[in-house]
Every structure is written in C-alpha cells, then in structure tokens.
Amino acid sequence: MIPKVSILIPNYNHKSYLQQRLDTVFGQTFQDFEVILLDDASIDGSQEILESYRNHPKVAHLIINSHNSGSPFKQWQKGIDLAKGEYVWIAESDDYCELTFLENLLKMAKESTGIYYSQTIDVDDDGKVLLNRIDYTKEFNPNIWKADFEISGLEFIEKYLLVKNVIPNASAVIFKRTLIETAFFSDKLLQMKMCGDWFFWVKLCEKTKISFIATPLNYFRNHSAISRRHNTAKKKKTRLLEEGEIRYYTFRKLNLINKAKSEVLLKKWFKLHPLKAILSVPFYSIHLPFSNNFSLFLKFLSFKLKK
C-alpha cells in the first residue's frame, strides 16, 4: 500500500536530539506514512538509536553510510529516490515538531498546490524558545506570515525568495514528490555548503503554488554546530558564491531579478576580496547577468586597481 507521506530523517551526529525527533515523527496524529532513516556515518552513537528502529513497522529503509557523503543534499536525494509517498517531509534529526504537524498541513492539500509549510520557532540545545520566525520576516510590508496564505511559486520567488531564504528550515515543509524530476539535484546544488536549501526551495517553487499556515508547528534547533554559520572568511566567500549561483539561476532560468539585493551581493564580494582574489576565482556567478549594473562592477574594479 502506497503511503500518503514519505518522511526522511537524515542524521549526522545528532544523538542528543535524535530521540525527540523520532518521537515527534512516530507520534504524529496523521499516521499514513513511511519513514526513511538515513545516517551519514555518524560517530557519536546515533546509529545505535537508529538501529533500534530497523524493524519498526513504519520504517521502510534504514541506510547507514560507511563514509560521510560531505553533503546533506546527497542524503536528501537518496531519501527522495527511495520515497513512495505522494508527499515528502524532510524531518531534520536535530529538530522536532508538534504531533499535529502533518494533520494540519495536509488539511490544506489541494491539487494545484505542491508545497506546504508552517511557522517555525527557534529553540536552543535544551529546547528553550529563542524566537518566533515571524520576526525573521518583519522587513516585509505587509508581513504576510502573520496569517495563513497561498501564493503562486513565481510570485513567491520574485517578492520573497529573491530577498532572502524565507523558508528557513526544511523540517517545516512538506512537498509533492512529483516536483522532483530526474535532473533536479544538479551538481551545483549538491556541492553547496551554505545555501543549498535556499536553492532547493527556488527550484521547487518555480513549478507550483505554496501554502503557509501561521500556526507554529515546527521547532528549529539553533545550536552551535549548525554548518551554515558563516563566521570565517572562507565561509563568507562560499556563502556569497552560492547566493550568486542562486541569483544567476533565477535570472537565467526565470528572468527574475532583485537588483538591490544583487548589488548588495556585489558590494560584499568586493569588500571581502582583494583584486588578486577577484581575478583568480571563477567570478561568473557574481557579475553583470544578475546585477544588471556593469558600471558598479567597473567602479569597484577601478577602485581596486587604483589601490
């Protein structure tokens, strides 16, 4: 029997949080689902917990890598390839949720809409509330996340995803499996370290409508080990290059551009890198095609040459 939802739980060294994640998945009030457990060669004892679920009636697959893949998105791809459900939920192993998460999102389900997500609460290692993600979107006027909404994917990209990643946590989202075509996981996406989820949502949203429920049903664990913290020069460089790839993609594929944000990206790049670095790296993803301001590029380049 084909399940309604395929739940992927990709794990890497999240033993401290894993049991709570599993409890809030298997305890869902909506029970028509399969679970795919994925471990990326953890070394913290996580695998012992996962092994105890190997014969659970809801577990369709338990795959433990012998070597770390180096990419959470390779794990996402592996899980989606195995999934049989109409919907996919990537339930990150360090997060948790309300037991009514699936029930509430699936109440909104309709044929024309392929992505559903809920409001998120950030918590610390111990589950103490840090913030409601409604504050993350307060720069938008109106802040549409104050209430439930439905919107076309292209409008969502143009108005919101081209400003920043307004779907900050995969655990808050379910989406139709059929949105993932054969070539969806490009090499560029699989190689991303900082912005892969942002790119993932853009590629999904371009194909469908999005529905949002303002009720906080998801809890994002905002802890010190999160890989996308860009607190070194190398990480900042990676972050800018990956954002550039996304903005270049939306310009080239969708003819959508946010000039102001693209120019901010250019300014950050030139501020971070001396001329030698600018001329020695592939700069194709942070230049004219999406900034649409060649004079700005020349201005900064001229400034660096004079120095």
Of all helices (H) and strands (E), which one includes residue 63? strand 59-64
Fold of the domain built from segment(s) 5-221: Spore Coat Polysaccharide Biosynthesis Protein SpsA; Chain A (3.90.550)
Consecutive 10-residue averages of pLDDT for the chain (307 residues): 97 97 98 98 97 98 96 96 98 98 97 97 95 96 98 98 96 98 92 95 97 98 67 84 89 89 78 56 43 45 42
Range(s) of the chain covered by CATH 3.90.550.10: 5-221
Give the CA distances from residue 272 to residues 197, 241, 276, 282, in Å, rounded to whole numbers and listed in that order: 24, 12, 12, 15
What confidence score (pLDDT) does residue 281 get? 46
Alpha-helix residue ranges (DSSP H) falling in 157-231: 187-191, 196-205
What confidence score (pLDDT) does residue 241 get? 85
What confidence score (pLDDT) does residue 266 get? 76
Q: How far apart are CA 237 and CA 74, in angstroms?
A: 22
For residues 179 and 88, the answer to whether their CB atoms sit within 8 Å is: no
Choose among 191, 144, 150, 193: nearest CA to 166: 144
What confidence score (pLDDT) does residue 287 get? 46
∠ CA 75-163-174, rounded to 5°: 35
What confidence score (pLDDT) does residue 274 get? 57
